[in-house]
Structure 1
Amino acid sequence: MKSGVKIILASLILFPMSSMGQTNPTECTFIAKGSVEKLDPKRSEDMKRMAESIELEVYNIHEDYYSHTVYQSGAGICRGYRNQAGVDLTDSTTYYLPDPEEYYAIIIRANVSILNKIKGMQYTTVFNIKAKDILNKLRQDETETGEYKAKINVRERADVLSEIVCQ
């Protein structure tokens, strides 16, 4: 295996785990570091290679949002996820408003493990919204529920490891 090479592993249709009221499917694409060929998540050998990767990227494309999640563990994604060291997770989720040029994003860093523990979570919200009334409402919402939404996103991203990659 060549270091630093990334490859698309799979493109799947998923339904968000805790969906926060969303019912539309999400298209997911997995990319792993260290592979030189396309892997199929339906083949156990390919899943093993994904699980042992030290870096895994997942792109979720939904009609209302787009997210890019990077999982990293020097021990391998699933080995790290199953022990106390956990997996370092960086997630950026962009939510779109009716005006296609307006959006806001939640950027999160955390460490996750199969014990459903979230350690060291940090997040920030970035707004690109022109309408002051909408911006003020979203900022108020972020103040009241931002940490909760960030934790939901982290739990959903950890579920990708529990239910797909490390099952």
Structure 2
Amino acid sequence: MRTEPISRRALFFGRPARRNIGICPPGATAESLNACTGCGLCVERCPTGIIRLSDGMPSIDFAFGECTFCGECSSVCPEPVFLTVNADRFPHVAVVGDGCLAKRHVACQSCGECCPEQAIRFRPRMGGPFVPELNEALCSGCGACLSICPVSAIGLQAREAEAADV
């Protein structure tokens, strides 16, 4: 039988230690999620349905859609989970992988067409379809391009500034 370590906080509040946080909702951090009670109000109020409870913690799943930064999750939360109430970007940006249809000479511009920030532009290429290029400064990390990509070729990576601080 394998036993998991339990923190003093978890013992006191009767909650197990939480592990895989995933992508935090906008305005929340991995540290601030420790205040989360897992009530699920943010899940219920999310208009795009991308907030899910995973091990009692809210996390974002861009497979269901994009974050519109409406602030409903932070306004309904009774705990001090959301440090930035009107967050308008995530600490990550989209990255177009090698599986991209346009990079494989198949015409596709789905990601650029759905990007609310117009952060994905298409550069002309000789002998093939236009190739997507991401402007990291414009990308909010909302996930619109992730959910629309027909071959799941778009991923996430830490922003350059945050990656340099680590």
Please state which structure has a larger fraction of its residues in helix.
Answer: 1
Please state which structure has a larger fraction of its residues in strand.
Answer: 1
Question: Which of these two proteins has the greater Rg computed from alpha carbons?
Answer: 2
TM-score (norm 2): 0.26
TM-score (norm 1): 0.26
